[in-house]
Amino acid sequence: MNIFILEDDLFQQQNLKRTIERISQEEKISYKNLIVTAKPDVLLENLTLASLHNLYFLDLEIAEYDKTGLEVAQRIRKQDPFGTIVFITTHSEMAPLTFAYKVSALDFIEKDQKEETIIKRIRECLLLANMRIEKSVSDDALIFKNKFTNLQVPYSDIYYFETTGIAHKLRLVSKNKITEFYGELSEFENIDTRLFRCHRAFVVNLANIVSIDRTNRLIMFPNKDECNVSRRTMKELLNKMNQ
C-alpha cells in the first residue's frame, strides 16, 4: 500500500504524517511509500508507483488552487479506481460536493474536531484500507511479488507489459491504470497461458487483443495502444489466437 497526503499547511501536514506513522506501527499496518506534499502535481506524478492499493488523505482546499482536493480526487479515480480517498478539511459545508464529483470517498474528516476524534477517524480509515487489501485477492488476478514490487491485477484488466528504456524497469498498461515497477519481462511470459511474449519489448494479454495487423506486425488493444510483434513470434501468436 502507498499512502499519500495532500496538505498545504506545514504543521498539519507533518502532524498527519506522524499520526499515520504511529497508528501504522501500533496496528502493524505495512505500507510501501508515504508521500507527503502540498502540490497536487507531485501527488499525481506518483500515481504510477506500484502497489496493491493506495490510500489518499486530501485537503479540499490548497493555497492558490480552487477545489483542488475534489479535482485531484477525480484524477485519482480515473487512474486508480480501487484506491481509498479520505478528505480532511475545515469546510464541512463542502461535503455534499464529494457526491457530485463521484469520487466515492471513504470519509470526510473535519479539522476542527477534537484531536482524539480526528485520530480515531484516521485509525479507522487506515484499518479499513488495510482490510480491503487483505480481502481483494481474486482467484483470477495476477499476483506478482519481488523485493521491489507487489502487484495484484485482475487478468481481465491487463493489456500488456513493456520495457521502459530504463534497466529492469517495466510498465504495465491495464484497463484503468498505468503502473511502473522493477522486474523482468521474462518473469511474466510463462506465468499464465493468457500472457504471451510477442516481442523482446512486450508481453501481451491475448484475451484483450482487439485485432492483429499482420502486414505491419502490430497488435491493437481497446485503448487504441499498439504493440509490436516480431517476425518469429507472429505465427505462434496467430495459432494461440485461433485456439
Above 80 in pLDDT, residue 30? yes
- Residues 90, 178, single domain; the answer is no
- Residues 207, 92, single domain; the answer is no
Q: Which residue has the cell 499496518?
A: 29
CATH of the domain at 171: 2.40.50.1020
Question: What is the band of 83 on the pLDDT scale with cuts at 50, 70, 90?
Answer: confident
- Residues 54, 163, single domain; the answer is no
pLDDT digits (tens, 9 = 90+) for 12-24: 999 999 999 999 9
Instruction: Tell how strand 33-37 and strand 150-154 pair up.
Output: unpaired
Q: Long-range contacts of range 146-152, CB-CB < 8 Å, 24 or more positions apart?
A: 146/182, 146/183, 146/187, 148/181, 148/182, 148/183, 149/50, 149/181, 149/182, 149/183, 150/32, 150/50, 150/51, 150/52, 151/50, 151/52, 151/179, 151/181, 152/52
- Please tell me the predicted confidence (pLDDT) of residue 239: 92
Question: What is the band of 120 on the pLDDT scale with cuts at 50, 70, 90?
Answer: very high
Cβ–Cβ under 8 Å, residues 23 and 29: yes
- Please tell me the predicted confidence (pLDDT) of residue 81: 80
118's grid cell: 480526528
Above 70 in pLDDT, residue 10? yes
Provide mean pLDDT across the span 223-243: 93
Provide mean pLDDT across the span 80-97: 77
- Residues 147, 229, single domain; the answer is yes
Q: Hey, which bits of 7-77 come out as E strands?
A: 33-37, 54-59
- Residues 125, 12, single domain; the answer is yes
- Residues 102, 159, single domain; the answer is no
- Residues 167, 147, single domain; the answer is yes
- Please tell me the predicted confidence (pLDDT) of residue 230: 97
- Residues 191, 206, single domain; the answer is yes
Phi, psi of 145, deg, nearest 5: -135, 135
3-state class (DSSP) for residue 128: helix
- Residues 56, 95, single domain; the answer is yes
Above 80 in pLDDT, residue 96? no
Q: Which of these three, 69, 102, 135, is where a domain ends?
A: 135
pLDDT digits (tens, 9 = 90+) for 36-53: 999 998 998 888 776 667
Above 90 in pLDDT, residue 188? yes
CATH of the domain at 79: 3.40.50.2300
- Please tell me the predicted confidence (pLDDT) of residue 178: 92
- Residues 164, 45, single domain; the answer is no
Name the more confident of 198 and 137: 198
Q: How many domains does the chain have?
A: 2
- Residues 76, 165, single domain; the answer is no
Above 80 in pLDDT, residue 123? yes
Among candidate residues 210, 215, 217, 216, the one with its CA nearest the CA of residue 233: 217
Q: Using CA atoms in the order 65, 43, 135, 31, what is the torsion angle rounded to 10 degrees?
A: -130
Question: What is the band of 133 on the pLDDT scale with cuts at 50, 70, 90?
Answer: confident
CA distance 48 to 76: 11
Residue-averaged pLDDT of the chain: 88
Provide mean pLDDT across the span 137-160: 82
- Its domain, for residue 158, covers 141-242
Provide mean pLDDT across the span 210-231: 96
Question: What is the band of 94 on the pLDDT scale with cuts at 50, 70, 90?
Answer: low
Q: Which of these three, 90, 120, 135, is where a domain ends?
A: 135
CA distance 11 to 152: 35
- Residues 149, 174, single domain; the answer is yes
CA 233 to mean position of chain CA atoms: 31
Q: Which of these three, 88, 108, 135, is where a domain ends?
A: 135
Name the more confident of 22 and 144: 22
Q: What CA–CA distances, in Å, run from 206 to 59, 72, 86, 144, 172? A: 42, 34, 37, 19, 15
125's grid cell: 480509515
